[in-house]
Structure 1
Amino acid sequence: MKENNLETVTSLSSDLSTRENITIQLEELLIAGNYDEAKLLLEPSQPVDIADAIGSLPLILQALAFRLLKKNEAIEVYEYLDPVVQQTLLERLRSGEVLEIVEKMSPDDRVQLFDELPAKVVRKFLSALSPGERKVTAELLGYEPETAGRLMTTEFIDLKEMQTAAEALSLVRKRAPFTETIYSLYVTDKERHLTGILSLRDLVTADPSRPIGDVMTRDVVNISTNTNQEEVARAIQRYDFLALPVVDKEKRLVGIVTVDDLIDVIEQEATRDIYAAGAVQPGDEDDYFQSSLFTIARRRILWLLILVLANGLTTKVIAMNDQILKEIVLLAAFIPLLIGTGGNVGAQSSTVVIRGLSTQKLKSLGAIRAVVKEAITGALLGVFMMLVVFPFAWWQGEGPLIASAVGISLISITTLAATTGAILPLLFDKMKLDPALMSSPFITTVTDIAGVFIYLSTAKWLLNSSLT
């Protein structure tokens, strides 16, 4: 078993090295004008690897390399290209070449490309498409963004219950070259209502003279055209499907969503959550490495300004308690420790809850129980950290006053931070907003303000009590 794993790792490393070499060799051959050798270099490569190689080339060479591909291969490679590279090629290729590529793309990939293009350009392409492709594309563009309808492809095979296995298999052979996947075959009635599903294995092994209605599965998991793409991804993951059928309001089969499209969705949603967690505004293409410095700064400045204004409240709280700080200057030395701890605890709680909402595993625990669990966890963390910090604060403050203020505040702040870190994402989710927005920077800001107020108020109360 270990030997097999080692062989797999070695093979993967070899593939990565080969892809890097292809890119280097391709660039050298194109610069030298040796186009015949460049063609031979690309011929044995997979379309996705060719797309990577072309995308890594300088802009001036990308269109040149793309023109070396055979027509059918070029269309498949184009679908794997990064959206930015796709747009660059559209600008550099001749009008006829572009229209041919767009015409022969699969409907879902074509719609994904159109989503990245200006509306004026999309209208131009739509008018140039054949009537059939124009109708399909317009239908998909009519669905809301980030829904199953916008994500699905209309290239699927549907069969009828009364067809024999032999008739169905003959139909599959004819339509397979024009269909995205044939592993799942869908059965519909005369009105195109989805009535069953049949795997290719079941069809091949069935009695040729037997109607497929006898061997199909009638209990079909399906999604509607307005189902959010995240829910579609969760359904694919839950049932381990390669594709999911999509039905309209009348339960008619209108398309399928395949797992390869959902991998892109999962990556897109993960990118958004990561950006939100860092208080960064995502761009339309999420393409940091090709964005200008001004664009990068613009995406970050909005949230930073909001956080700066919010942190101004922390300064206000400190200014309101300047008297206690003047009397006991050493109190100021523990402010970073307390608000830093509160921010860290709050960030941990928000991360756990946001992830639980994303995977829907939090449903089994329940929102209220999750908040209570995090609050108790925060209190326990505060107690543990107090046992470490209290002796040090006593020694630094030369007495119990500062140590008591730090200890009481530490427990209060960690409890509050954990509770806040759990509540805010749940509140945003209830308001139909992205829970990831209530991530580390915002939780830290909230706990900073509350933590300073708790700490200085506690110190003032203890000081007044000792004087009386």
Structure 2
Amino acid sequence: MEEIKDLDVIEELLETKQYTRLRQKLSDINIADIAIILEELEEEELLKTFRILPKSMAADVFSYLEVENQQYIITSLSDREAANIINNLMADDATDFLEEMPANIVKKLLSHASADTRRDINHLLRYPESSAGSIMTVEYVDLKENMTVEDAIQRIRQIGVDSETINICYVLDPKRTLVGTVALRYLLISPPDAVIADIMHENVIYLNTLMDQEEVARQFQKYDFTSMPVADNEGRLVGIITVDDVVDILQEEATEDIEKMAAIVPSDRPYMKTGIFETSKKRIPWLLLLMISATFTGSIITSFENALSAVPMLTVFIPMLMSTSGNAGGQVSATIIRGLSSNEIGYRDIFKIIWKELRVAIICGVTLAAAYFVKLMLFDKSGIDVAVVICLTIISAVSIAKVVGCTLPIFAKRVGIDPAVMASPFISTVLDALTLMIYFSIATQVLHLS
């Protein structure tokens, strides 16, 4: 609500050309809220408002904007203004931005950026996408073991303004190997002449540059840190990752998993920024695959055409049986996928999981079958033989669904496939075919159909 009020005020100030008041108003608003407001403005007003921003805020606000608006702003500014924005961005934010830009714009921006900025950006671009090295920042406070607390505080004053965080400082030896950390609070309460080596924490937990970003998020969750150092294979400190980066990782990974579970090829662009053809292109491949796989269901029904002709009532229960098995499989697959993503379960647990899910399946299947048996007898007036077929199918289908739902994601993870791909509707398609085969097999035996 407050953002809407601020937006109205800013639009009014722009319309009446009260730029001094506008600049003052912007200075009183949080940078993240300014970015949200700018996203609501037309392009001309957005650029005008961005130019009015105090220089100390411009780069920070820029880092919060959507890529399309970042590109519009950067291509509308002069070379000097654009370079100033890039130079004032944190190295990780600048790298993320440049990765989304066309090559000609990147080349132009880097040619006008400072030597330090070019070095930091080129350093981060070396690492694989979605690795710890690609999301870290190189702005941090480093100290030496032989420094005194007074020296350390003086160094923080010198470089702290341009650092991502000063809450944790990193102690390096002459080879830049990470040997310890020291929290700012310990520096503040220690005597000025105390030596860093005596007060630092030596048992340092750090991330490797090639660690996957999902594992990075798990490490933050495990240790409850607000920042973690990133070191290369030789233990040399090359950057840090802060908790705000982890929040972005979690959102990105969750969105990707949801899209895969819905049979959509993941997209890096927001929904409202994606065109209809691009959206269609992301969905068509999976729809085609699922449509082709669903033809097996039709083939199974065709192969049991005689049974259906002899007992037409069997057709009525097909949707219910397929839906029940799909729901049962979907329940367990969602649980297993979540357990795999959080490292709660692994391949070694597969037999324990199958044994547990089989027992759960028996309880669920018998309960569902009993409830449906009552319905068949009291309301549908079905014969006892048909009721037996339906109830046996429910128990069997739920059991198979639970086993398939728990094993497919685990096997997928084992062979290097994202387990989310094995979620509904993929599992539902597999279970539809299995359920029909079970149904008609039981019907053929119980009802003595040829």
If the length of structure 2 is used for normalisation, what is the TM-score? Answer: 0.96
> CA separation in 2, counterparts of 1:92 and 1:161?
47
> Could you say which residue in structure 2 is the equivalent of 1:384?
367
Q: In structure 2, what residue type is equivalent to 1:56?
A: E
> Could you say which residue in structure 2 is the equivalent of 1:251?
235
> Could you say which residue in structure 2 is the equivalent of 1:304?
287
Change over 3 Å in CA distance of 1:331–1:364 after alignment to 2: closer
**What is the CA distance between 1:90 and its match in structure 2?**
2.2
Match for 2:109 among 107, 117, 125? 125
Structure 2 residue runs of 5 or longer lacking an equivalent are none
Q: Secondary structure at the match of 1:284?
A: coil
**What is the CA distance between 1:85 and its match in structure 2?**
2.0
Equivalent residue runs for 1:379-458 within 5 Å: 379-394=362-377, 396=380, 398-458=382-442
Equivalent residue runs for 1:198-213 within 5 Å: 198-213=182-197
Q: In structure 2, what residue type is equivalent to 1:196?
A: G
- Say whether 1:49 aligns with 2:33: yes
Q: In structure 2, what residue type is equivalent to 1:345?
A: A
**What is the CA distance between 1:394 and its match in structure 2?**
4.4
Change over 3 Å in CA distance of 1:434–1:126 after alignment to 2: same
> Could you say which residue in structure 2 is the equivalent of 1:85?
69
Q: In structure 2, what residue type is equivalent to 1:392?
A: K
Q: Deviations over 1:185-231 (max 9, x none)?
A: 11111000110110001111112112110111110010110011111
Is 1:401–1:459's contact at 8 Å kept on the other side of the alignment? no
Q: Secondary structure at the match of 1:19?
A: helix
Q: What stretches of structure 1 move > 6 A for 4+ residues in a row?
A: none
- Say whether 1:313 aligns with 2:296: yes
Q: Secondary structure at the match of 2:339?
A: helix
**What is the CA distance between 1:295 and its match in structure 2?**
2.0
**What is the CA distance between 1:129 and its match in structure 2?**
2.2
- Say whether 1:348 aligns with 2:331: yes
Identity percentage of aligned residues: 35
Equivalent residue runs for 1:4-23 within 5 Å: 17-23=1-7
Equivalent residue runs for 1:144-159 within 5 Å: 144-159=128-143
Between 128-137 and 312-321, report the one with greater CA deviation: 128-137
Q: In structure 1, what residue type is equivalent to 2:286?
A: W
Q: Secondary structure at the match of 2:165?
A: coil
**What is the CA distance between 1:176 and its match in structure 2?**
0.9
Match for 2:44 among 60, 75, 79? 60
Is 1:186–1:194's contact at 8 Å kept on the other side of the alignment? yes
Between 357-366 and 413-422, report the one with greater CA deviation: 357-366
If the length of structure 1 is used for normalisation, what is the TM-score? Answer: 0.92
Q: How many residues align?
A: 449
Match for 2:248 among 260, 264, 278? 264
> CA separation in 1, counterparts of 2:340 and 2:84?
44
Structure 1 residue runs of 5 or longer lacking an equivalent are 1-16
Match for 2:8 among 14, 20, 24? 24
Q: Deviations over 1:62-106 (max 9, x none)?
A: 111111101121111111112232122223333332222112211
> CA separation in 1, counterparts of 2:443 and 2:214?
48
> CA separation in 2, counterparts of 1:137 and 1:354?
36
> CA separation in 1, counterparts of 2:345 and 2:332?
13
> CA separation in 2, counterparts of 1:96 and 1:167?
36
**What is the CA distance between 1:324 and its match in structure 2?**
0.2
**What is the CA distance between 1:378 and its match in structure 2?**
2.0
> Could you say which residue in structure 2 is the equivalent of 1:236?
220
> CA separation in 2, counterparts of 1:398 and 1:102?
74
Q: Deviations over 1:245-297 (max 9, x none)?
A: 01111111111011111111111011111111111222222x10122222222
Q: Secondary structure at the match of 1:185?
A: strand
- Say whether 1:222 aligns with 2:206: yes
Match for 2:95 among 102, 107, 111? 111
> CA separation in 2, counterparts of 1:226 and 1:394?
62
Between 145-154 and 295-304, report the one with greater CA deviation: 295-304
- Say whether 1:275 aligns with 2:259: yes
Q: Deviations over 1:140-178 (max 9, x none)?
A: 000001011111111111111111111111111111111
Q: Secondary structure at the match of 1:440?
A: coil
> Could you say which residue in structure 2 is the equivalent of 1:463?
447
Match for 1:102 among 70, 86, 104? 86
Q: In structure 2, what residue type is equivalent to 1:375?
A: L
- Say whether 1:38 aligns with 2:22: yes
**What is the CA distance between 1:240 and its match in structure 2?**
1.3
- Say whether 1:327 aligns with 2:310: yes
Is 1:394–1:402's contact at 8 Å kept on the other side of the alignment? no
Q: In structure 2, what residue type is equivalent to 1:25?
A: V
Is 1:108–1:153's contact at 8 Å kept on the other side of the alignment? yes
Match for 1:191 among 161, 164, 175? 175
